């Protein structure tokens, strides 16, 4: 399994594992603190009205001087810690956090539409709601769906984003990110890195411009916090902060605290769950009622498989694994994409994206592999066509 977690980060003598624990917290000891503080303020006192007016102009333009944020919709010190930590772990100049992964993607689209670049080149498959948002044109964008080999010929002067998810949701299809980034030329490549996390893959090192995380998943890791974040250049971060300032899609400070805490255990959780997922993928491939198994070369804690039994009945038959959407939690989740996460897509689009009606998606948690396997065996036995 490929992993970057043991290698030092650029500009640091410490490994990625060590930085995951300490990123965003390096100043705590000097402040006499051990745990990061949670700043729940919605507004901040200011006796220098002229000075604050000038700072507010800077915030409205997307700049952040690191000082008190004037108002909670502008910025938050606790959220700022999470943003700084995630930027460091993805190897980015900056990161901007939002209330959800879809809010983060929406901000990217709005920023590019405002720049007169409303065209999106999309590589399927990807998360169903991402697909639906791009297809809808609701935010003023248009989309052209291509294979990775067709991306270069689809890009025009008004292409604002090339969007790809690798490994993809739910088929776990992988894309050669370096080749795709080269094909994009000057067009920004946005990679949804939710499934791999920066433990297994850092798209910016392969030439991507933007990295998207649904922080709700592995970054939080416990199924109890929602958020989204974009890792990017300092210049693009200013555009995203402008959108966030105006639209209000801010991450709550408590969520920022929980996500920062989640980063500390991210490498341990991802490696442990990935080892279990790889073993389950091997066992599933040998089961007579499983017709195909999808598991990415990069590794990870996601497994998808196609089955000859009724997939809906299979999902309903598990007892230890929870039948639910979402992923990346410490407990295992299973769901039927055609019925839930990708139901919002047109049936033809699902077929074109390789999303079979027999496909089941499994997010592997931290339970014992034999306990999970017994639950899957029982479900495969009792689920009938």
Query: pLDDT (tens digit, 9 = 90+) per residue, 91-147?
Result: 999 999 999 999 999 999 999 999 999 999 999 999 999 999 999 999 999 999 999
- Coil, strand, or helix at residue 208? coil
Task: Supply φ then ψ for residue 372, to 5 degrees.
Answer: -65, -40
Residue 342: predicted pLDDT: 79
Locate all alpha helices (DSSP H) within the chain, ordered by sequence. 16-22, 49-60, 77-90, 101-114, 128-136, 151-154, 177-184, 197-200, 234-247, 253-285, 311-317, 347-352, 369-382
Tokens of 208: 């991507």
CA distances from 21 to 82, 274, 309 (A): 12, 20, 44
Confidence of residue 327 (pLDDT cuts 50, 70, 90): very high
- Residue range 177-197, pLDDT digits in tens: 999 999 999 999 999 999 999
Q: How many CB atoms lie within 10 A of CB 193?
A: 26
Residue 305: predicted pLDDT: 97
Mean pLDDT score of the chain: 94
Per-residue pLDDT for 2 more than 50? no
Sequence-separated (6 or more) residues with CB below 8 Å from residue 264: 20, 21
Residue 383: predicted pLDDT: 86
Residue 347: predicted pLDDT: 77
Residue 352: predicted pLDDT: 78
Residue 351: predicted pLDDT: 78
Residue 106 near residue 249 (C-beta atoms within 8 A):
yes
Per-residue pLDDT for 338 more than 60? yes
Distance in angstroms (rounded) separating the CA atoms of residues 317 and 288: 18
Task: Supply φ then ψ for residue 305, to 5 degrees.
Answer: -150, 150
Q: How many CB atoms lie within 10 A of CB 279?
A: 16
Per-residue pLDDT for 385 more than 60? no
Confidence of residue 345 (pLDDT cuts 50, 70, 90): confident
- Residue range 370-383, pLDDT digits in tens: 999 999 999 999 98
Distance in angstroms (rounded) separating the CA atoms of residues 78 and 33: 14
Per-residue pLDDT for 355 more than 90? no
User: How big is the CA angle at 123 (ends 152 and 305), to the nearest 5 degrees?
Assistant: 145
Place of tokens 């745990």: 35
Per-residue pLDDT for 220 more than 90? yes
Confidence of residue 9 (pLDDT cuts 50, 70, 90): low
pTM of the entire predicted model = 0.94
Residue 362 near residue 305 (C-beta atoms within 8 A):
yes
Residue 53: predicted pLDDT: 87
Of 373, 369, 341, the C-alpha closest to 102 is: 341
Of 322, 283, 315, 281, the C-alpha closest to 300 is: 281
Per-residue pLDDT for 68 more than 90? no
Per-residue pLDDT for 344 more than 70? yes
- Which residues belong to the active site? 73, 127, 192, 217
Residue 5: predicted pLDDT: 58
Residue 373: predicted pLDDT: 98
């Amino acid at each position: 399994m490929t992993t970057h977690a043991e290698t030092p980060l650029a500009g640091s003598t410490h490994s990625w594992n060590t930085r995951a624990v300490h990123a965003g917290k390096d100043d705590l000891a000097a402040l006499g603190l051990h745990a990061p503080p949670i700043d729940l303020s919605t507004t901040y006192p200011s006796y220098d009205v002229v000075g604050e007016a000038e700072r507010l102009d800077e915030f409205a333009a997307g700049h952040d001087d690191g000082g008190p944020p004037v108002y909670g919709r502008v910025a938050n010190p606790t959220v700022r810690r999470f943003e700084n930590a995630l930027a460091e772990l993805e190897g980015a100049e900056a990161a901007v956090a939002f209330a959800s992964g879809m809010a983060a993607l929406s901000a990217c689209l709005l920023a590019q539409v405002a720049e007169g670049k409303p065209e999106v080149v999309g590589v399927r498959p990807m998360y169903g709601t991402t697909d639906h948002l791009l297809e809808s044109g609701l935010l003023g964008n248009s989309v052209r769906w291509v294979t990775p080999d067709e991306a270069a010929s689809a890009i025009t002067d008004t292409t604002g984003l090339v969007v790809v998810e690798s490994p993809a949701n739910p088929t776990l299809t992988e894309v050669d990110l370096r080749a795709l980034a080269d094909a994009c030329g000057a067009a920004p490549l946005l990679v949804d890195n939710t499934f791999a996390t920066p433990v297994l893959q850092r798209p910016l090192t392969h030439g991507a411009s933007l990295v998207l995380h649904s922080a709700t998943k592995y970054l939080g890791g416990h199924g109890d916090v929602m958020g989204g974040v974009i890792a990017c250049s300092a210049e693009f971060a200013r555009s995203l902060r402008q959108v966030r300032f105006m639209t209000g899609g801010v991450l709550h400070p408590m969520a920022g605290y929980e996500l920062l805490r989640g980063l500390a255990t991210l490498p341990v959780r991802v490696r442990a769950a990935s080892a279990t997922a790889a073993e389950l993928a091997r066992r599933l491939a040998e089961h007579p009622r499983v017709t195909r198994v999808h598991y990415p070369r990069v590794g990870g804690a996601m497994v998808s498989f196609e089955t000859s039994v009724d997939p809906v009945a299979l999902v309903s038959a598990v007892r230890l694994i929870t039948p639910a959407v979402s992923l990346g939690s410490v407990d295992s989740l299973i769901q039927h994409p055609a019925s839930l996460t990708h139901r919002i897509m047109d049936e033809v689009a699902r077929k074109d994206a390789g999303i079979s009606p027999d496909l089941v998606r499994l997010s592997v948690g931290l339970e014992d592999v034999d306990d999970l396997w017994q639950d899957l065996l029982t479900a495969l036995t009792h689920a009938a066509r």
